[in-house]
Chain A
Amino acid sequence: MNKTSRVFLITSAVLFGILIIALFRLQVIKGKHYQRVAESNFVRIRRLTATRGEIYDQKYRPIVQNIPSHNLFLLSGKIQDLPALARFLSLNFEITEQEVTDMVLGQRFRTYEEILVVDNVPFEKMLSVSEHLNYYPELVFRIGSTRDYLYPNHYTGYVGRINEEEYERYRAEDYSINSYIGKTGLERYYEVLIRGQDGREIVQVDAQGRSLGLFQKGGYIEPLNGLSLVLTIDNELQDFANRIFPAGIKGTVVVSDVRSGGILAYISKPDYDPNLFMQRITPEIWEELNSEDKPLMDRVIHATYPPGSVFKPVTAGLGLQKGVITQHTRLKSCIGGMQVGTRFFRCWDHSGHGTSNVVEALMRSCDVFFYDLSMKLRLDDFHAYTLASHLGTKTGIDLPNEREGFFPDTAWYRKTFGRNVGIMGHKVNLSIGQGEVLTTPLQMNAYFAAIANGGTWIQPHLLKQTVGRARLTRQQVERVQKKQLPFSQADLRIIQEGLFAVCNSPYGTARSVQVPKAQTFGKTGSAENFMGKRTHAWFCGYIVTDKPEIAVTVFMENAGGGAAMAAPVARQIFDFYMGNIEDIKRPAVLPPQFRSAEDLDPDALQPSGQDDEPEPGLKQENREEIHPH
């Protein structure tokens, strides 16, 4: 054996000697200690769920609140008898034995993680079940929080347990299988802001509550609570609009602040109660939610409709912009309709309007004027102009899954109907907002608000600011887009004059829409459609005091004429607004609990969803300075 091999042998003997000594110490000398630790699974990392931000209206009145809830958790690694457990759970909760078994086996490689079996257990139920829990050490009740939606609406959306697909997708963002996640509406759109950041805590106490002392430092990461949202919504206006909307009619009301683009009321009927989703949904409720009336559908942005006559300002604006007409141009005389090629296009008023200029045409909503005007316009200009007016394209409101709407161009007709399609007839139809054009009620609202606002289109939005851990304005969260619509100031004034005449001239279609102390502007529409015999009723308008105030869009599916059905609702809203204008516009005082992000009540930072107190010592040490030597 030479020197070199001795070096190797000695080195390996030393290394393995070290391992043997360490193992002897660990397994033989301290074996009993570690057995005790192992038997009760003391050491484990526990997630401290962050409290989700709440949602308030512009006056800090609550819309969505957190309320405490009792949740039943299961630790599958501790299960003694799975069939018995499944039977017990199925007897007490609306969950089948098969579901329990699947849940447990689906988690078989993460048996140390608690599974949320039933959430929002009613208090009495919790008491009765708790009596049996000593037979099931794997089950434990923990206090968490759940959402309370204060009124039915379509914009808050709702939260729900994360599903498998979402879990796979957002895993990197620290979701657990028990996490809640925003499913729709603002809850989803602002998930990142509302959710906060879960904390972590290492649990290292034995059954008697003594610290095992395995870790000296750290071991506690505070959960960061989510930001609360303050919306532009005004609960009182929302409530009023909700109350006056005729029962049994499907449709929407959108009220927006012309100068900020903030939405004050957002109603889609029929509506649903988001709280339904906080419990297990029974088949009957599920059927109701998926009935023909589609209460789950947000008709403000998730449905598109032919705009009908409320689209006429667009046609008029393009005619003025292209110089095809001036304020005084009188087009073809209305004889109750107009012959285009082989087809006779009817005006809504079969007795005819005679000749009109653009203001009169808007006022009386004369179809023939727009038919004739459209024949002098190119379809592709029309397409470009509509999109530039931000119709037939997403507004970018802060809600998920907004629909685009549609306005066709020549290429589309050629693709759909063949190369030799006659464009003329389609164009005539489009000029009065019929045919292929589709818009959402929100797009129309933003368009009319832009007319009121001197041609400046502002992206409609719901979020005003956040409060809580950080105070961010909507601009800081995401820039609100502003855009000049393609109006010259002179053309804009002509359109406004037309809209004024609609409400104020004795010949206007919406003469009833007048309010004291303000000028009303508007346009009615009765859009023919394939969904039913009756027309969709539209009213889009706004009011101006010394400056423009609010824009209101009322839309009713297959409810009849716009003047008869939609306009009165708008008038009541204008009335209510003017009657309460001081209240609505008075700046709200920031409630004390939001005064300073740092001075938040320490209780609010207590982790929810956990029943044990974090060890106070751990938290302290966490903040200690670290000295290297």
Chain B
Amino acid sequence: MKKFILINHKKFDFILLGMLVVLIAVGFVAIFTASTTAISDQVITANHWWKQIIFAGIAFLAIALLLKLPMPIFDILVLPAFVLNLLALILVLFVPTVGGAHRWFSVANVHFQPSESAKLLTILMVARYITKENLSEYKQILYGLGIMIVPVILIMIEPDFGTTLVFWASLMAMFIAAEVPLFFILLMISPVVSVMASLHWLGIVIWIAVLVFLLMRAGLSWVAITVASIINAFIALITPVFWMGLKDYQQNRILTFLDPTRDPLGAGYQIIQAKIAIGSGSITGKGWLLGTQKNMNFLPEHHTDFIFSVIGEEFGFVGSMLIILLFFAFFARLIHCVFQLKVRERKVATAGIMAYLMFQTFINIGMNIGLVPATGIPLPFISYGGSNLLINTISVAVILKYLNERGFIK
């Protein structure tokens, strides 16, 4: 009887929940092997894996509580929780640094990153305010940016550049789900592309041509297209000037961020070691618990940010593919969920959550195989870490709740 109150059997998305459980279970296996070291015949496993099981237990408890929470109360709680989270983001700046950044509150060996919960709460806030009735596109964008910019700036100060990227990714997805015309999105990301295109004069020319073409297809007025292309051309041309104005060490820092192999004794070392581990896994991998690279402990964080390297090493291309396809199926299911929902706010929120999880997955795996810079973003559901697992699971729980409570129209 009690279970009936918790979930609505007709609407509850068992497939999504099932995928979530599988992902977390894969995490246990990966964490177990990542924290196992073999020296001669001595095999030692650090206790991370059962800690993660406890975290998972707490996370599922949180899902149950969230599902039980009446929807109106949930709706009321979002705003105060967001404000409290902003306060926490301010307070954390006054906490002594750990590893050069003010990111964690640490009480009795429990570490909490307010930027983690800020992701979910900001998405819920943005979703609520950009889906108000009768908003023009300009106001939607303005509200979205306005709400997003506060936590983003606070997290930039910490500093945690990687996490702020996640915010932008989910904001874009929310605009798309809120049916903001695509050319607005294009205009918003165009300056970033302009900066990248400025590497070569040909790049600038091609990019501006593509931009004009796309905007024309969107049916914009000639005035708007001209203004947009002039601004972008200007940005592309000013970038080298700006670049030259930077101090050597600032330039180096940016270049190293983009190409970690420039820094063999720092970030580059970790990424190369991850690549060696994954690459040496070859097609079928070295086998469960038999990874040699992880065993040499070349990677200090291989149960957290670099867990994918352990999977790649021990299970090879086959194993990596399975994980990637599992994630892809999971996100396809989430996209499917977005369009099950009819309440615009919930639909947009679901799109935001989907985008934030997908972006993190892409960035983390990309970092492990040397495609993208090392940013310290963990792999959702699989990397070791309590607060991260909890927030990711709750984010999915929010979607489960939305699905569970959707109307009878469908």
Contacts and interface: CB of A to CB of B under 8 A. Distances in A.
Interface of A: 2, 4-5, 7-9, 12-13, 15-16, 18-20, 22-24, 26-28, 30-35, 37-39, 41, 43-45, 76-77, 79-83, 85, 104-105, 108-112, 200, 202, 204, 214-219, 221, 626, 628-629
B44 A105 contact: yes
B279 A43 contact: no
B262 A28 contact: no
Q: Is the interface of A mostly helix, strand, loop or mixed?
A: helix
Nearest to A20: B324
B297 A215 contact: no
B182 interface: yes
Contact of A77 (B42, B243, B297, B332): B297
A292 to B, nearest CB: 45
Given A19-B369, A35-B282, A82-B40, A626 B248 contact: yes
Contacts of A110: 297
B275 A26 contact: yes
**Which 10 interchain pairs have the tightest Cβ spacing?**
A34-B279, A31-B282, A38-B280, A82-B40, A219-B264, A215-B264, A27-B317, A202-B264, A77-B296, A34-B280
Contact of A26 (B293, B324, B369): B369
7 contacts: A16-B328, A23-B321, A26-B278, A77-B297, A108-B37, A216-B262, A218-B268
A217 B262 contact: yes
Interface residues of B, number: 66
Interface string B264-299: 110011001101111111110000000011011110
B407 interface: no
Nearest to B35: A109
Given A20-B324, A111-B296, A45 B269 contact: yes
A263 B21 CA distance: 73
Nearest to A214: B272
B366 interface: yes
Given A8-B176, A112-B296, 11 more contacts: A4-B179, A19-B371, A26-B275, A27-B283, A35-B282, A38-B279, A41-B296, A44-B298, A215-B272, A216-B262, A221-B265
Contact of A12 (B269, B293, B332): B332
Contacts of A18: 366, 371
B365 interface: yes
A218 B317 CA distance: 31
Interface of B: 37, 39-42, 44, 46, 173, 176-177, 179, 182, 199, 240, 243, 248, 251-252, 255, 261-265, 268-269, 272-273, 275-283, 292-293, 295-298, 312, 316-317, 320-321, 324, 327-328, 331-332, 335-336, 338-339, 351, 354, 358, 362, 365-366, 369-371
Contact of B276 (A16, A34, A77, A80): A34
Contacts of A20: 321, 324
Among A8, A41, A214, A219, the most chain B Cβ lie within 10 Å of the Cβ of A8
A111 B277 contact: no
Given A23-B321, A32-B282, A109-B37, A38 B264 contact: no
Contacts of B335: 5, 8-9, 12
A214 to B, nearest CB: 5
A19 B40 contact: no
A603 to B, nearest CB: 24
Given A23-B317, A23-B369, A214 B261 contact: yes
Nearest to A113: B297
A8 to B, nearest CB: 5
Nearest to B292: A38
B293 to A, nearest CB: 5
A19 B362 contact: yes
A223 B41 CA distance: 37
A27 B297 contact: no
A629 to B, nearest CB: 7
A16 B243 CA distance: 32
Given A31-B283, A112-B296, A23 B261 contact: no
A335 to B, nearest CB: 70
Contact of B39 (A16, A104, A219): A104
Contacts of B255: 626, 628
Contacts of B279: 26-27, 30-31, 33-35, 37-38
